[in-house]
Amino acid sequence: MKPAVLALLFASSLAFGQKFQDVTAKGAPVSLSLKHDLADVGPYVAIRNISTKDILAYVAITKMTDEHAQTQPCHSRSDYAFKSRRLAHQEENPLPCPLEVSDPMDPAKPGAKVIDVVSAVLFVQFDDGTTWGDLQTGKRIILDDRPKKLAFLKSLVETYYESGEDAFNAMLNDQKLEGADALLAMHLKGDAKYDKTPAIELAKKQLAAGQGWHASGIF
């Protein structure tokens, strides 16, 4: 992360009465805001695409400070290269960061009340391949993992058709998975449960989307 953004993230929470601050660099193609329009999830930070291009990927960070002056950072990422859509002009998407500071010794315990939220978008990739922000952060968190994710999806789909559903599930639930593979497997299982859709169908769709972007040279 750039030193200036990091300094703002940690210094801004000291301001008395501060509730929310978007410290993304000036001229950014996105904006952040604190929303309260989803009763079932409570307040959340949303990213909005204010550029004229569709967004293919982004990386953001949110820092929460609670009533006891305890702080906790949360990194957010979204990569539409493996999805059937992109973040369109003026479209919003919630950042998956719970606005509470949990106890690391007891994660199940309800978090303390957050009184200060500071967020910044660090990297954006557009659907034409151009980028904005910290490219090294984008590579480390998203871009460098794409070939690995594509290879893992290809292997999952091939395993399903060559060896059957049991082999596919065994691969998806392999406790030895690490890094991008483990994260992809976790999301596939979670999305399949939420959408009530077989994981293989989601894997096939993500593979097709990823292969399309790879073939276009934007990957």
Within-domain flag for 139: no
What pLDDT is attached to residue 29? 98
Within-domain flag for 93: yes
Within-domain flag for 62: yes
Q: Which residue among 99, 134, 169 closes a domain? A: 134
Question: Same structural domain for residues 106 and 27?
Answer: yes
> 30-35 and 131-133 as β-strands: parallel, antiparallel, unpaired?
unpaired
Distance CA 211, CA 219 (A): 9
For residues 44-68, give the mean pLDDT: 94
Question: Same structural domain for residues 158 and 117?
Answer: no
Residue 117 and residue 19 in contact, taking contact as beta carbons nearer than 8 Å: yes
What pLDDT is attached to residue 107? 57
End-to-end CA separation in angstroms for the chain? 22
Question: Same structural domain for residues 65 and 152?
Answer: no
For residues 151-157, give the mean pLDDT: 98
Question: Same structural domain for residues 7 and 106?
Answer: yes
Within-domain flag for 65: yes
Least confident of 56-60, 112-116, 175-179, 205-209: 112-116
For residues 157-181, give the mean pLDDT: 96
Question: Same structural domain for residues 20 and 123?
Answer: yes
Question: Same structural domain for residues 157 and 126?
Answer: no
Distance CA 53, CA 89 (A): 6
pLDDT at 105 over 80: no
What pLDDT is attached to residue 126? 98
Question: Phi then psi for 186, rounded to 5 degrees?
Answer: -60, -45
pLDDT at 200 over 90: yes
Residue 117 and residue 34 in contact, taking contact as beta carbons nearer than 8 Å: yes
Within-domain flag for 94: yes
Query: For residue 132, what pLDDT band results from cuts at 50, 70 and 90?
Result: very high
Q: Mean pLDDT in the chain? A: 87
Q: Tell me, what DSSP letter sits at residue 142? A: T
Question: Same structural domain for residues 116 and 163?
Answer: no
What pLDDT is attached to residue 9? 46
Within-domain flag for 127: yes
- Burial of 178 by CB count in 10 Å (0-12 exposed, 13-18 middle, 19+ buried)? exposed
Give the dihedral sign, CA 18/24/26/31: negative
- Give the rounded distance of the alpha carbon of 143 from its chain centre: 13
Question: Same structural domain for residues 53 and 124?
Answer: yes
Q: Which residue among 134, 161, 177 closes a domain? A: 134
Print the domain residue range for 44: 3-134
Question: Same structural domain for residues 109 and 17?
Answer: yes
Distance CA 177, CA 175 (A): 6
Question: Same structural domain for residues 36 and 55?
Answer: yes
What is the radius of gyration, based on Cα positions, of the chain?
Answer: 19
- Burial of 48 by CB count in 10 Å (0-12 exposed, 13-18 middle, 19+ buried)? middle
Question: Which of 41 and 187 is assigned the larger pLDDT?
Answer: 187
Question: Same structural domain for residues 123 and 149?
Answer: no
What pLDDT is attached to residue 15? 36
Within-domain flag for 102: yes
Within-domain flag for 12: yes
Q: Please state the domain count of the chain.
A: 2
Q: Which residue among 89, 116, 134 closes a domain? A: 134
Question: Same structural domain for residues 27 and 124?
Answer: yes
Residue 66 and residue 114 in contact, taking contact as beta carbons nearer than 8 Å: yes
